[in-house]
Amino acid sequence: MKLSRNDACWCGSGRKYKKCHLEMDLRLEELEKKGYIIPPRSIIKTEEQIAGIRRACQLSREILDGLEDVIAPGLTTEAINTWVHEYTMAHGAYPAPLHYNGYPKSVCTSINEVICHGIPEQRVLVDGDILNVDVTCILDGYYGDTSRMYLIGEPSAQARELVQVARECMYLGIEQVRPFNRVGDIGYTIEQHVRKYGYSVVQDFGGHGVGVEFHEEPFVQHYGEKDSGMILIPNMVFTIEPMINTGTYKCRVLDDNWTAVTADGSLSAQWEHTVRVTEGGVEILSE
Ligand code: MF3
Ligand code: CO
Ligand code: CO
């Protein structure tokens, strides 16, 4: 059904179509005819959804902040899981990882050569470890997904550089987010930065649309070609979560069917934010 100029806009703003998305839709229609991938309407969030996703993201961020004072040598990843689970529940939210596709815990804890989806267990943190903690809260039905790295004691100079470069990659990717840029611009920018250090970008996992479900369209590659992939338009919400390795980009998944490690045992680091495309650029919802 094609909307008339005076109909209510499809986006839920309550405004007339002609005062809302009409112009954007005409522009996207032209681009689609030329072969561009345009976002489906179903992934464009309403103001109400964005407010809810922002609150979920802020709770996830609060958990990562709280962990700064909790994480120390001698702690187990199981203890991190307990802390995250209890904090989440105490704030009226639910940990999205728990039972997601059979995942057994409430958070992902990925140490050293673990790329992502590390399962909390009795492993004790020791001086020199680098650790990613990846938190996703479901609050009032909305998802907020963010992760960061924690240095345990004093990791090697290379480990610290890797952590820093991965963080820069996330922010350089975020800087590419603005209307009518494309998803590929994010991955291209990240891969170019990583090349300067001789590190590699994981290809088997990526960022993703998020907010109403845990994983939505688009898939966000952290490598690849500029001017490729889906067009970005306001109120798309997705994660940018580059995983950077000192050695090969290749992954292996352990027998637990979750833990992804570097194929050569080299170190891996990851940072993640949930972002929203705004009229003027980007809002980092989880910062
Ligand atoms: N939070 C992860 C992401 O950034 C997904 C974890 S899925 C789980 O996409 F099941 F392992 F928790
Ligand atoms: Co994510
Ligand atoms: Co995550």
pLDDT along the chain (287 residues), means of 10: 92 95 96 97 97 99 98 98 98 98 98 99 98 99 99 98 99 98 98 98 98 98 97 98 98 98 98 98 98
Q: How far is the CA of 145 from the centre of ligand 3 (A)?
A: 5
Q: How far is the CA of 113 from the centre of ligand 1 (A)?
A: 17
Residue 273: what pLDDT?
99
Tokens 């800087």 correspond to 175
- Gap between the Cα atoms of 100 and 168, Å rounded: 30
pLDDT digits (tens, 9 = 90+) for 82-126: 999 999 999 999 999 999 999 999 999 999 999 999 999 999 999
Q: Is the CB of 100 under 6 A from ligand 1?
A: yes
**Rounded alpha-carbon distances, angstroms, from residue 133 to 115, 217, 247:** 11, 23, 21
* Closest ligand 1 atom number to CA of residue 103: 10
Contacts of 243 (CB under 8 A, 6+ apart): 115, 116, 166, 201, 202, 205, 222, 268, 269, 270
Residue 208: what pLDDT?
98
Q: Is the CB of 206 under 6 A from ligand 1?
A: no
Q: How far is the CA of 257 from the centre of ligand 3 (A)?
A: 17
Residue 244: closest CA among 211, 186, 285, 205 = 205
Residue 1: what pLDDT?
72
Residue 281: what pLDDT?
98
Overall pTM surpassing 0.85 (yes/no): yes
CA 175 to chain centre: 14
Residue 4: what pLDDT?
95
* Residue 182 dihedral angles phi and psi, to the nearest 5°: -125, 155
CB 80 within 8 A of CB 93: no
* Closest ligand 1 atom number to CA of residue 105: 12
What's the token pair of residue 86? Answer: 């209890």
* Residue 270 dihedral angles phi and psi, to the nearest 5°: -150, 140
Structural domains in the chain, sorted by start: 37-284 (3.90.230.10)
Tokens 């005062």 correspond to 19
Residue 76: what pLDDT?
98
Pick the residue whose CA is nearest to atom 12 on ligand 1: 97
The number of beta carbons lying within 10 Å of the beta carbon of residue 133 is 25
Q: Is the CB of 25 under 6 A from ligand 1?
A: no
Pick the residue whose CA is nearest to atom 7 on ligand 1: 97
* Closest ligand 1 atom number to CA of residue 107: 12
Strand order of the β-sheet with 260-262 is 114-116, 260-262, 251-253
What's the token pair of residue 278? Answer: 């705004």
Residue 2: what pLDDT?
84
Pick the residue whose CA is nearest to atom 8 on ligand 1: 97
